[in-house]
Chains A and B, each alone.
Chain A
Amino acid sequence: MSSRSVQYTSSPLLASKTPIWRSQFIVAVIAAGFLGLVARAAYVQVIDNAFFKRQGTVRFVRTLDLPANRGRILDRHGNILASSVPVPSIWANPEDIERDPAKLKALAKLLGMNPAELDKKLQDEDKTFVWLKRQVDDSVAKEIAALKIKGVYDRKEYKRIYPEGESVAHVVGFTNVENLGQEGVELTFNKALGGKAGSRRVIKDRLGRVVEDIGEMVPPVDGEDLQLSIDSKVQYFAYEKIKEAVLTNKAAAGSVVVLDVKTGEILALTNYPSYSPGKRGNLSGAQLRNRALTDTFEPGSTMKPIVVGLALEKGLVTPESTIQIGNGKFKVGTATITDEHAHGLLTINQVIQKSSNIGASKLALQMQPHDMWEVFTQVGLGQKPQVPFPGAVSGKLRAYKTWRPIEQATMSYGYGLSASLFQLAQAYTVFAHDGEVVPVSLVKTNQSVMNGARVFSSQNAAAMRNMLHLVTIQGGTAPKAQTMGYAVGGKTGTAHKVEGKGYASKKYRGFFVGIAPIDNPRIVVAVMVDEPTNGAYFGGDVAAPVFSQTVQQTLRMMGVQPDMAVKPQVVTKVEKESF
């Protein structure tokens, strides 16, 4: 070995003495670190586990609402009267919206509001959610999305669409922006139509995708579809005709009710003025009112057939019995009942045909008030119709014990009691359905014949139909009710309108309730025209033509063959082929 050899073990670097405590200190620090971790782990996993679990859940578990579809409303043939479709609604997050004046101006324009309005909505910067406009058009939503404003979003909401528009507005009604029924069957059947929303709890990942279901899902229960008895074609036609009649007679309003006699189903129920259920800005109460059910009036002469029917039923008279009308004036107590003409001696048939007040009064005075009251009640007067409509009224029929003789007489020609047009239509099913009052239904029944409560014998009902037919032929009060191909029958009514405490002198209501075809009835049609001011105001002039047209179209659509000979006007002839 040379002297230059180095003894590594004695390197001056290594030779430096390290105090033992240093290594011990390091070990202790590391151990303490581990202990700290263990303690923390125990704290997180054992001691305050619930808190941390909850915090975790808040960060990645979401409860999703599963909205239920609102059921559709269909007509009797399955045509859609109301259905929900998804539409975008625009909302913003004022906290982090990008406040670029140019973009906000463009946005305001697209939303159809002025920039100041928009600013007001976005004022409160603490809010994280504010609706800008609900239920906008698809195209508008797309344009807004194209603006790419940070903090403005859209969200799908359901909107109700009513393809038939005005003609069925009063029947179907409408919903509000929260999809709750507000009017018509939308309101009455709100619960069944609405269904029940479901929910599910899920874990979402960083990208917002659902990655796992937790617990059980509550599936949404979609609302049930509701099939009404309404026939949209009949409804439309009736609406068009009553609209036409209201406009030509310069009237305030009008209504039509069409009932299927066999099943009691409501084929049409329409009023004018109406509204578009989809566009409901500036709606007035007059437009909203379902007059056929909510407006009551004194039924006037349309009551006479019911009284005469009762007289037949009680055996007081036969259709051919005669009754003395005299000079057209008849005193009851201190009051005088008058007829337009001095008819002299009339048969019972003619009492109806000529609509004699005196004839009806004389019959009524031979009856017990109780019997009259009972029949009136049986045919549905003074009682709320059993139809699922908000606001249907019962009309007025006073207790028979309070009737004085003059009242008993005036009631026989329809004064001193009140009813809605719908009640009158139902009352007339007693003649059309062979003496039975059919229970009415707005929902499709799928039955071919419904049985009702018997009021008159079928023989007397047939006799009454014959009288009603006489009204519509020459010599009756409503020849304008005639319709081509079908024999019809019915009764006109004209009533002074009540204003304040008495009758308004020049305000009338003309109406007509009829049956078609008269020999084998299929429908009852009731028409009312309120305050006609264009000269004509008698029911036979203003309402009967609407009846005629409605009957014509309805029977054709129902496939009922004409029962009267019609002079054919078929112009094309089939030529013989020649070779």
Chain B
Amino acid sequence: MSRLSFLLMIAVMASALYLVRTQYESRSLTTEIDRATSLARNLETENDRLDVERRAQATPLRVEKLAREQLHMRTITPAITQYATVPGGVAASVPAEVRP
């Protein structure tokens, strides 16, 4: 009888230790997840920030300034434009809605 009790006690102890270990692991995993999520969020905001910066480099104001001053370009007019009509007649009058 006492041997059985002893065995059960060992089992209880083992289980308790295992529980502690699992709890510990679960907590460290949660920490990891949390760290990863905040990293993801940081990267996302970083991405947003870079998007804005890229846009700031490509605003019409800056593009026009650079085109005029550095590349010596001028605004085009119909007089210096050659219009080509694509067979099938689609492309010519379709606005160029191109995402940057």
Contact = CB atoms under 8 A, between A and B. Distances in A.
Interface string B63-100: 01000000000011111111100000000111111111
B34 A80 contact: no
Given A77-B99, A80-B51, A566 B78 contact: yes
A567 interface: yes
Interface string B33-65: 010000000000100110110011001110010
A212 B30 contact: yes
A569 B48 contact: no
Contacts of B21: none
Contact of B83 (A72, A484, A562, A569): A562
B55 A80 contact: yes
B15 interface: no
Interface string A239-273: 00000000000000000000000000000000000
7 contacts: A86-B45, A205-B31, A210-B31, A211-B28, A557-B95, A568-B80, A570-B79
A195 B29 CA distance: 30
Given A163-B52, A164-B59, A568-B82, 12 more contacts: A83-B48, A85-B45, A85-B48, A161-B52, A211-B31, A212-B30, A213-B30, A236-B61, A484-B77, A484-B78, A557-B95, A566-B78
Given A77-B97, A77-B99, A163-B55, A211 B27 contact: yes
Nearest to A520: B93
A237 interface: yes
A553 interface: yes
A212 B83 contact: no
A19 interface: no
A91 to B, nearest CB: 20
B52 A83 contact: yes
Contacts of B26: 212
A209 interface: yes
Nearest to A559: B95
Contacts, number: 101
Given A83-B48, A561-B92, A165 B59 contact: yes
A394 interface: no
Given A80-B51, A83-B52, A212-B27, A567 B79 contact: yes
A210 B94 CA distance: 54
A559 B94 contact: yes
Given A210-B34, A211-B30, A561-B92, A163 B80 contact: no
Contacts of A560: 93
B92 A556 contact: no
A12 to B, nearest CB: 43
Contact of B100 (A78, A161, A557): A78
A562 B59 contact: no
A485 interface: yes
Interface string A140-153: 00000000000000
A494 interface: no
B41 to A, nearest CB: 9
A558 B95 contact: yes
Nearest to A569: B79
Nearest to A161: B52
Contacts of B51: 80, 83
A205 B59 contact: no
Interface residues of B, number: 35
Nearest to B79: A569
Interface of A: 69, 72, 76-80, 83-86, 161, 163-165, 167, 202, 205, 209-213, 232-233, 236-237, 484-486, 552-553, 556-562, 566-571
A80 B52 contact: yes
Contacts of B97: 76-77
Given A211-B30, A232-B60, A559-B94, A570 B45 contact: no
A236 B48 contact: no
B100 to A, nearest CB: 6
A82 to B, nearest CB: 9
A237 B81 CA distance: 19
Contacts of B92: 559, 561
B66 to A, nearest CB: 14
Given A562-B78, A566-B79, A85 B52 contact: yes
B88 to A, nearest CB: 15
B61 A165 contact: yes
Contact of A553 (B30, B75, B94, B98): B75
B18 to A, nearest CB: 18
- Ranked 10 nearest A-B pairs via Cβ: A485-B78, A211-B27, A236-B60, A163-B56, A85-B49, A210-B34, A569-B79, A562-B78, A559-B95, A163-B55
Contacts of B55: 79-80, 163
A205 B100 contact: no
Contacts of A561: 83, 92-93
A552 B34 CA distance: 55
Contacts of A80: 51-52, 55
Contacts of A552: 77
Contacts of A202: 34
A31 B83 CA distance: 105
Nearest to B57: A163
Nearest to B62: A163
A133 to B, nearest CB: 20
Q: Which of A205, A213, A561 has the most CB of B within 10 A?
A: A561
A311 to B, nearest CB: 35
A485 B83 CA distance: 12
A79 B79 contact: no
A261 to B, nearest CB: 14
Contacts of B48: 69, 72, 83-85
A572 B60 CA distance: 28
A331 to B, nearest CB: 49
B79 to A, nearest CB: 4
